[in-house]
Every structure is written in structure tokens, then in C-alpha cells.
Amino acid sequence: MFLGRTFAVSIAAATTLLMGMTSTAHARSDTVNAYGASISLPLGVNFGPAPVANLGNPTATVASINVGTVSTGVVAVEVEQNTTVGTEAARASVDGLSATLLGIGISAGSIQSECTATTGLPTTGSTLLANAQVLGTTLTSNPAPNTSLQFPPLLPLIEVRLNEQIPNGDGTLTVHGMRVRALAGDGDIILSSATCGPATLDPPNPVPLASGAGLYLALGLVAAGGGTMLLRRRRQLV
């Protein structure tokens, strides 16, 4: 009776170990995303965020956006994640921006933002602008993170943030290519938003049951348990 119980315990232990060996759990993170525009204007005019890309829908494109005093050309977003090597990225681009907020004109040939993450390294973000202007002032094409400008300079009505980078509580980093905000009252326009990080990495590959190593290890565990039990049985009989 004791022999049967001990052998059963050995089989159970081997089975449990093999189940752990054949586990294929992945370290996938669902926080990576990107969107083209989020628009809030006076008189309750709201739009977006749209279009949106995430791991369930990794790419999205619209031909144009026309909401109140904001219009664009092509808007494209995409995300990617590779947990095998521990990387992920999110990108957004808005072409042909023409907008007005509180009577101040904003334009850009393109606004591109990107967020990139690699396991073990800090998450980074960047923004590129082409032919961007506010109230006739040309904006730098490669703005530093969290560049803030106010217009008109002498009596500011709006704030323009370029390459806005926001560390979030869940460890992700959000990058807004351009954000135009009314200093008083309604008005908040976000263009080209990308969020990612921290990147995750799959655990080491387990030894599969079907492999020679896994099979021999399992048989070895059972044999070792059986041999121990037989030795105990013989000592008891002597």
C-alpha cells in the first residue's frame, strides 16, 4: 500500500514538472497604442481620439479629418510589438494640418511622433515637424521634449506644446507631436499621439515534453522514484 502511494506521488510530481516545462506563457503587453487626433473646440465640438492603432488593430489610416476649424490630409497610425526580442513601438503622422483656435492659425506639412521601447532600457519618444507654423512663426523641425510656446507672444491666448512627453503611472510613455491648448476657456487639440513601454520579454523557452531531453527527464524522475521505493521495500523485508 505504501509502495503504491509513493509511486503515485512520484508520478504526480513528474507530471507537475512537465506541465511547467511545456508552459508557453507570453509577456505580451496591451498598453502600446497610437492615434491621429483628439479635438476639443469651443461650443462643444469634440472628435476622437481617431484613428486608433493597438495590438488588436496594428495599423489605421484615414484620408482626412475635418472637424470645426481643424482639417488635415492623410492621417496614419501603427504599432508593433515583438516579445521574443523585447521591443515595441508606436507611430503616428498627420499631414496637411490647417487649424484655427481663438483666431490664431496653425499649419503644418506633417507632424510625426514616435515612441520606442526595449526591455531593460528607458522608453524614448521623438517628434518631427515639416513646414510647421503658428501665427506666421516657423516652428523647429526637431523640437526638444516638452517645448512650450505661447501666442501671441505679448498677450498669449494659446499654448503650443511640441514633442510633449508624458510619463504615465503604468510605466508607459505618451508622446504628442503637437498639442494646442487655449489658456482660458475651451480648446485642446492633440495631433499625432504615440504610447508605448515598458517593453516585455518572453520567458526562456521551456523543455517541451515531446523533445528527447524532456522525455528522458520525465522517465528519469519516475525511475528514480520507483528505484527508491523498491530499495525501501527490500530493506523492510530483510
Q: Is the pLDDT of residue 71 over 60?
A: yes
Sort 106 into a burial class: Cβ within 10 Å, 0-12 / 13-18 / 19+: buried
188-196 β-sheet, strand order: 45-54, 33-41, 188-196, 173-182, 158-167, 147-151
Rounded average pLDDT over 54-73: 97
Report pLDDT for 28.
59
Report pLDDT for 208.
59
pLDDT digits (tens, 9 = 90+) for 130-145: 999 999 999 999 999 9
Q: Is the pLDDT of residue 236 over 90?
A: no
Q: Is the pLDDT of residue 65 over 90?
A: yes
- Assess contact for 47 and 67: CB atoms under 8 A: yes
Band of pLDDT at residue 30, cut at 50, 70 and 90: confident
- Assess contact for 93 and 174: CB atoms under 8 A: no
Report pLDDT for 202.
86
Residue 186 or residue 12, greater confidence: 186
Band of pLDDT at residue 174, cut at 50, 70 and 90: very high
pLDDT digits (tens, 9 = 90+) for 190-235: 999 999 999 988 887 665 555 555 545 444 544 555 544 434 544 5
Band of pLDDT at residue 52, cut at 50, 70 and 90: very high
